[in-house]
Amino acid sequence: MAALVELRDVVKHFPVTRSLSELVRGAHPAVRALDGVTFDVGDGDAVAIVGESGCGKTTLGRLMLKLVEPTGGAISFAGAPMAEITGEKLRAFRRQAQLVFQNPFDALNPRFTIYRAVVEPLINAGIDKAEHADRVASAFRRVHLADFDRYYDRYPHQLSGGQLQRVVMARALVLGPRFLVADEPVSMLDVSVRAGILALLREVRETMGLTAVYISHDLALVRYLCERTLVMYLGRVVEDAPTEEIVRRPRHPYTQALVAAVPVPDPDQSRAPLPIKGNVPDAREPPSGCSFRDRCPHAMPRCATETPALKPVAGGHQVACHLDTPTSP
Amino acid sequence: MILEVDKLQIHYSTRSGVARAVDGASFVVPEGRIVGLVGESGCGKTTAVRAIMGVLAENGRQAGGRVVFKGQTMDEATTRRLRWRDIAYVPQSAMSSLDPVYTVGSQLVEVLTKRGTHSRASARARSAELFDLVGLSERRLADYPHQFSGGMRQRAAIAMALALEPSLLLADEPVTALDVIVQRQILDVLRSLQQRLHLSMVLVTHDISVVAYLCDEVVVMYAGQVVESGPVREVLARPRHPYTMGLRNAFPDLLSDALELVPIAGSPPDLSEPLSGCRFVPRCPFAQPACSIDSVVTGSDGHRSACRRDAEADTIRTAALDPRTWQRSSSFAMS
Amino acid sequence: MAERAEPVPARASWPLLPVLKRMAAMPLKDPFAFAGLVIYLLFVLVAVFADQLAPVDPLEILFTKAGKLAANVPPGVEFPLGTTNLGRDIYAQLVHGTRSALAVGLSAAIIVATVGTIVGLVAGYFGGTADAVLMRIADMALSLPFLPFVIVLTGFLGASTSNIVLAVALLLWPNSARVIRSQVLTLRERAYVEAARVTGASAWRILFVHIAPNILPLSFVYAAIAIGWAIITEASVSFLGFGDSTSVSWGMMLQDAFASQALSRGQYAWFVPPGICIVLVVVAGFFISRGYEEVFMPRLRGR
Ligand SMILES: Nc1ncnc2c1ncn2[C@@H]1O[C@H](COP(=O)(O)OP(=O)(O)OP(=O)(O)O)[C@@H](O)[C@H]1O
Ligand SMILES: Nc1ncnc2c1ncn2[C@@H]1O[C@H](COP(=O)(O)OP(=O)(O)O)[C@@H](O)[C@H]1O
Ligand code: SF4
Ligand code: SF4
Ligand SMILES: [Mg+2]
Ligand SMILES: [Mg+2]
């Protein structure tokens, strides 16, 4: 299947305020939020991006939606280079690519009624006013907000988190997009509400034939949505495989730690001790070679000098670790 | 029993009336055990531990029931005497409550000298010990909170609570909002502290996986009341209350084969309205007319449930495993 | 999360309406702001009905019934505040001075609020070069010495009231622009602003529909502050003798009184009332701005 979104060696650096000594040395430090990311999202696929906080997941999602520009590398959407999507093309792109936010309490303008929030995209896309009411109603129907017209005149603070997240999804779906990025869409929601939102995400993807990128730090949730998962560490993809492979047979030492860390609701399941220690290093000064090596239980001398590249190890399974590429290329 | 909470009632006075945030909750904490307090948001978990700690919000008051700590019924004077020395507390979002203006070390020294009887010198030595205990390098004492990651700040908050060697630690959502690896590290710290210091602990969370990983006992709260309690193995493997079964279904499980999460339709009741009978009635697929009349607590050998149909618990449990049991489209959409 | 639905409000199609309502309701909550508003209202009434309240031309030289120049007449029935040394009615001057004071204050306020808001919005939202250039200009304007600048500018352009207003506006817009810019910087990071971008809203739409309504109360605060500053400045400039000699203003009254040694002659009725009026309007302006600050920007004040 053709790829809808293609990323080639994408780099994103954010400048940071320089310390005095850096100023004197003339250094230009930067947070290396993304450090060479390459992958494709196939048309109609659902891909998950997992990793610890600060590893660059949100930045990646924002790049795919052209909310920020990459420092290096190239991204394309439906075959068109993202850098060339401007002006009228950008307006068309905005109709096709949408975002669901982590915090539904902040994602809706507190001064807008719910109806107004969902009709905004239609106004922006220049859609005939006569169609607005119908299209809003069908978007609300899609997200299963029963008696939706009851909500039209309310303000966001009058709705619960789960209802708000449904409204946020209605807004994202009202233009009939083909690409959806969901950034931690349930992490701010209550337990009992999560399941409903996850089911909804899965349902709209199937019924609308959406291509979806789902961002999370929780592998257990990702499993319910995506067939394929990318694991990120410090701005790089370290493993890319079918989700079940990631969960059952993780190959990268970091993925193994991630899987081991997920708690399960069964006290009899004996849990292996966490194989890694320490914290994610400062993204301003990642270690040389493999950026995971200061926490990796298998680190070897080679890991300090050579950055492992993402290499296929089996069908549809790629890993960036020297353990999986024993011979130097 | 290091702690007994007996028919505790906590009321908040608000503009729209009295909110019965905790309404007759009873549970016990055995010595040296970790008890998990679970339930949806707003069901009174924070209120309950704040009441035990004697740090209720201004508009809250204990309207009934008792809290017994080491055989002693707590009143205002005893609470004040025992607070921090014997009972310590890691508040919800403790990690964001560190003062950004002072180093973490000086805040720890402050706690030790103000709440305890340490001199500044001994407080500094003790700070280093405490940091070591929660797995932080003592060099980081000189850092400011913003130089700490979320997990490190949570460790520091725990160190602060442990400053005066309490025998009971109340931790409110200590791992919520942390990502899985950090979460696991914090849980391991809590486990090792419990073993090394023979602490008793109440761990508030909405995540039953956390309970399964760390706790010995679990107390399930719903709408200000305890609906089920007992040993973690018992309660999670053979839940007796439909609410616990619902929570269990709604929770993702990395290792299960079922690729379906089942939400509990609807939302918890408004606690400022008068409520009678079982509070789960509007959301319970097994509700019967009798359920609205009054609620009963049944069970023995430590596993207790507040479901009227407890005798049928085994049949209900089987039915509860079927996702269709919980599907009621109209209220589903309201969640 | 329990659903606590409140009564459904009327459909508000314009996001500004609730803000305006809240702003209108504010003085009822803050007694100082209320007092300030009442003072303004009184002065506005006086300005509007000045011709009825004081039918005498404030610049006309008056004569007594005996045909003598009515100079330095003490307060009495005919001249409530007495007359100046040139035989002009002080009461009439005071009443008509209200007009110029309010004209100066309000026009300066409108210019300061408009320019400050637009500059703050543009600099804060677009950032980059536009931001750098605008903020450098603001820095420059802020570094100018206040009164000397006004005097020099009116010296260049002529000592008219409108030039004084222009000078005050030039000096005051940077304050509001800076604060509004920093507010825009935080609002720009809100998820709902990003949501507007994703759904294809243009930059201008985001700026004026999503961000500006949150900024409006701030503009208002700076407008209220500008009123006071403008009136004080006009008074100072007139008092120093650089003002517009053809119009009646409180500052000019003070200058007249000072020049003709009213103080040593004990003609308190000549200079005390305009002094009090200046203090009242200025203080009223600060009361109102303080009230809005309290309501809309509690974080700006110390904890
Ligand atoms: N200060 C207060 N004034 C009024 N009502 C309050 C106050 N604090 C809590 N409540 C109410 O009491 C009930 C229980 O609140 P509590 O915060 O203890 O729940 P919780 O289980 O800890 O929820 P969460 O997971 O959201 O923290 C809720 O309905 C809440 O709205
Ligand atoms: N606008 C920004 N300016 C500076 N640094 C940023 C910015 N956005 C993100 N970062 C940094 O980039 C890294 C990745 O961030 P993010 O994509 O938000 O991670 P995640 O979503 O995985 O938590 C982090 O180190 C973060 O601090
Ligand atoms: S490359 Fe080396 S350090 Fe990196 S994960 Fe593999 S073994 Fe560990
Ligand atoms: S008492 Fe009735 S309503 Fe309550 S949980 Fe049991 S069966 Fe359901
Ligand atoms: Mg993120
Ligand atoms: Mg809580």
Nearest CA to ligand 2 atom 4: A14
pLDDT, position B328: 64
> Half-sphere exposure of C150 toward its Cβ, with a 13 Å CA cutoff?
28
Q: What is the CB < 6 Å shell around ligand 3?
A: A 253, 290, 292-293, 296, 298-299, 303, 308, 321-323
Is the minimum distance from the CB of B287 to ligand 4 under 6 angstroms? Answer: yes
On the question of pLDDT at B214 being above 80, the answer is yes
pLDDT, position C297: 54
A97–C198 C-beta distance less than 8 A: yes
pLDDT, position B330: 36
Mean pLDDT of B194-221: 93
On the question of pLDDT at B6 being above 70, the answer is yes
Gap from CA of A202 to ligand 2 centroid (Å): 27
Chains contacting C (3+ CB pairs below 8 angstroms): A, B
Strand order in the sheet with B168-172: B87-90, B168-172, B200-204, B34-38, B217-222, B225-231, B304-305
pLDDT, position A327: 55
Nearest CA to ligand 2 atom 3: A14
Give the nearest partner residue to B149 out of A262, A276, A279, using CB atoms. A279
- A152 touching C, CB under 8 A? yes
At residue B260 the predicted structure's pLDDT band, cuts being 50, 70 and 90, is confident
Gap from CA of A106 to ligand 5 centroid (Å): 14
Domain of residue B259, residue span: 238-326
B269–C4 C-beta distance less than 8 A: no
- B39 touching C, CB under 8 A? no
Residue spans of the domains in chain C: they are: 29-51+80-297
Residues with CB under 5 A from ligand 5 (ion): A 58
A95–C4 C-beta distance less than 8 A: no
* Distance of alpha carbon A172 from alpha carbon C37, whole angstroms: 45
At residue C302 the predicted structure's pLDDT band, cuts being 50, 70 and 90, is very low
Which of the two residues, B254 and A254, has the higher pLDDT score?
A: A254
Question: Which residues does chain B have within 8 Å of residue A218's beta carbon, measured at their own beta carbons?
Answer: 179-180, 252
pTM of the complete model: 0.80
Burial class (CB in 10 A: 0-12, 13-18, 19+), A222: buried
Gap from CA of A180 to ligand 6 centroid (Å): 32
Pick from A213, A298, A303, A229: which is nearest to A262 by CA? A229
Tens of pLDDT along C52-80?
A: 887 878 777 777 777 777 777 777 777 77
* Distance of alpha carbon C122 from alpha carbon C129, whole angstroms: 11
Contact B22, B9 (CB under 8 A): yes
Q: What is the mean pLDDT of chain A?
A: 89
From the alpha carbon of B14, which atom of ligand 1 is closest?
A: 4
pLDDT, position A209: 92
Nearest CA to ligand 2 atom 14: A56
Mean pLDDT of C22-50: 82
Is the minimum distance from the CB of B320 to ligand 4 under 6 angstroms? Answer: no
- A19 touching C, CB under 8 A? no
Which of the two residues, B256 and B102, has the higher pLDDT score?
A: B102
B182–A195 C-beta distance less than 8 A: no
Nearest CA to ligand 2 atom 24: A54
B269–C1 C-beta distance less than 8 A: no
Q: Which of B113, B128, B161 is the C-terminal boundary of a domain? A: B161
B270–C2 C-beta distance less than 8 A: yes
On the question of pLDDT at A180 being above 90, the answer is yes
* Distance of alpha carbon A283 from alpha carbon A51, whole angstroms: 14
> Half-sphere exposure of C39 toward its Cβ, with a 13 Å CA cutoff?
21
Gap from CA of A68 to ligand 2 centroid (Å): 12
pLDDT, position C58: 79
- C246 touching A, CB under 8 A? no
> Which residues 6+ apart lie within 8 Å of A12 measured at CB?
A32, A33, A34, A56, A59, A63, A68, A70, A71, A235
Tens of pLDDT along A250-282?
A: 999 999 999 998 888 888 776 778 888 777 777
The answer as to whether B96 is a domain residue is no
pLDDT, position C4: 31
For B334, name the nearest residue in chain C, comparing CA atoms only: C3
User: Which tokens in the block code for residue C68?
Assistant: 């003598």
pLDDT, position C72: 73
Contact B183, B149 (CB under 8 A): no
**What ipTM score was computed for the predicted complex, to two decimals?**
0.85
Closest ligand to the CA of A310: 3
* Distance of alpha carbon B311 from alpha carbon A212, whole angstroms: 46
The answer as to whether B48 is a domain residue is no
For A98, name the nearest residue in chain C, comparing CA atoms only: C198
DSSP for C125-141, please give it: HH-HHHHHHHHHHHHHH
Gap from CA of A274 to ligand 3 centroid (Å): 16
From the alpha carbon of A254, which atom of ligand 3 is closest?
A: 5
Three-state SS sequence of C4-58: CCCCCCCCCCCCHHHHHHHHHHHHHCCHHHHHHHHHHHHHHHHHHCHHHHCCCCC
Give Cα separations from A80 to A41, A89, A93, A249 (angstroms). 14, 10, 10, 36
On the question of pLDDT at A17 being above 70, the answer is no
Gap from CA of A55 to ligand 5 centroid (Å): 8
Q: What is the mean pLDDT of chain C?
A: 81
Gap from CA of B172 to ligand 4 centroid (Å): 28
Give Cα separations from A18 to A22, A25, A31, B100, B134 (angstroms). 6, 10, 11, 21, 32
Mean pLDDT of C20-42: 80
Which of the two residues, A146 and A308, has the higher pLDDT score?
A: A308
C1–B270 C-beta distance less than 8 A: no
C197–A111 C-beta distance less than 8 A: no
Contact A134, A102 (CB under 8 A): no
Question: Which residues does chain C have within 8 Å of residue A94's beta carbon, measured at their own beta carbons?
Answer: 198-200
On the question of pLDDT at A125 being above 70, the answer is yes
DSSP character for C69?
A: B
- A196 touching C, CB under 8 A? no
Which of the two residues, A78 and C239, has the higher pLDDT score?
A: A78
A154–C4 C-beta distance less than 8 A: no
Question: Which residues does chain C have within 8 Å of residue B42's beta carbon, measured at their own beta carbons?
Answer: 1-2
The answer as to whether B93 is a domain residue is no
Tell me how close the Cα of A189 comes to any Cα of chain B, in angstroms. 9
- A154 touching B, CB under 8 A? no
* Distance of alpha carbon A217 from alpha carbon A184, whole angstroms: 8
From the alpha carbon of A296, which atom of ligand 3 is closest?
A: 8
The answer as to whether B274 is a domain residue is yes
On the question of pLDDT at C10 being above 50, the answer is no
Nearest CA to ligand 2 atom 27: A54
Gap from CA of B45 to ligand 1 centroid (Å): 8
On the question of pLDDT at C98 being above 80, the answer is yes
On the question of pLDDT at B280 being above 90, the answer is yes
Three-state SS sequence of chain B: CCEEEEEEEEEEEECCEEEEEEEEEEEEECCCCEEEEECCCCCCHHHHHHHHHCCCCCCEEEEEEEEEECCEECCHHHHHHHECCCEEEECCCHHHCCCCCCCHHHHHHHHHHHHCCCCHHHHHHHHHHHHHHCCCCHHHHHCCHHHCCHHHHHHHHHHHHCCCCCCEEEEECCCCCCCHHHHHHHHHHHHHHHHHHCCEEEEECCCHHHHHHHCCEEEEEECCEEEEEEEHHHHHHCCCCHHHHHHHHHCCCCCCCCCCCCCCCCCCCCCCCCCCCCCCHHHCCCCCHHHHCCCCCECCCCCEECCCCHHHHHHHHHHHCCHHHHCCHHHHHHC
Pick from B22, B23, B32: which is nearest to B1 by CA? B32
On the question of pLDDT at A110 being above 50, the answer is yes
pLDDT, position B97: 77
pLDDT, position A307: 92
Give the nearest partner residue to A107 out of C2, C195, C213, using CB atoms. C195
Tens of pLDDT along B282-304?
A: 999 999 988 988 777 777 768 99
The answer as to whether B229 is a domain residue is no
On the question of pLDDT at A161 being above 80, the answer is yes
At residue B67 the predicted structure's pLDDT band, cuts being 50, 70 and 90, is very high
- A314 touching B, CB under 8 A? no
Tens of pLDDT along A198-244?
A: 989 999 999 999 999 999 988 888 988 999 999 999 999 999 999 99
Q: What is the CB < 6 Å shell around ligand 2?
A: A 14, 31, 33, 51, 53-59, 283
DSSP alpha helix (H) spans, chain C: 16-25, 31-48, 50-53, 90-126, 128-143, 146-157, 161-188, 191-198, 203-205, 212-239, 250-259, 268-296
B334–C2 C-beta distance less than 8 A: no
Task: Indicate the number of domains in chain B.
Answer: 2
For A103, name the nearest residue in chain C, comparing CA atoms only: C191
Pairing between β-strand A72-77 and β-strand B217-222 as defined by DSSP bridges: unpaired
The answer as to whether B230 is a domain residue is no
- A190 touching C, CB under 8 A? yes
The answer as to whether B295 is a domain residue is yes
Contact B11, B29 (CB under 8 A): no
Tens of pLDDT along C118-166?
A: 999 999 999 888 899 999 999 998 888 888 888 888 888 877 888 888 8
Contact A84, A265 (CB under 8 A): no
Give the nearest partner residue to C6 out of A158, A162, A189, using CB atoms. A158
Tell me how close the Cα of B68 comes to any Cα of chain C, in angstroms. 31
Amino acid at A160: S
Domain C29-51+80-297 has CATH 1.10.10.60: no
Chains contacting B (3+ CB pairs below 8 angstroms): A, C
Tens of pLDDT along B12-35?
A: 998 778 989 999 999 999 999 999
pLDDT, position B240: 94
Q: Which of B140, B161, B182 is the C-terminal boundary of a domain? A: B161
Tens of pLDDT along A274-325?
A: 888 777 777 777 888 999 999 999 999 999 999 999 999 988 899 999 998 7
* Distance of alpha carbon A320 from alpha carbon B11, whole angstroms: 56
Give the nearest partner residue to A144 out of B210, B255, B333, using CB atoms. B333
From the alpha carbon of B50, which atom of ligand 1 is closest?
A: 18
Q: Which of B161, B178, B208 is the C-terminal boundary of a domain? A: B161
From the alpha carbon of B291, which atom of ligand 4 is closest?
A: 2
pLDDT, position A39: 95
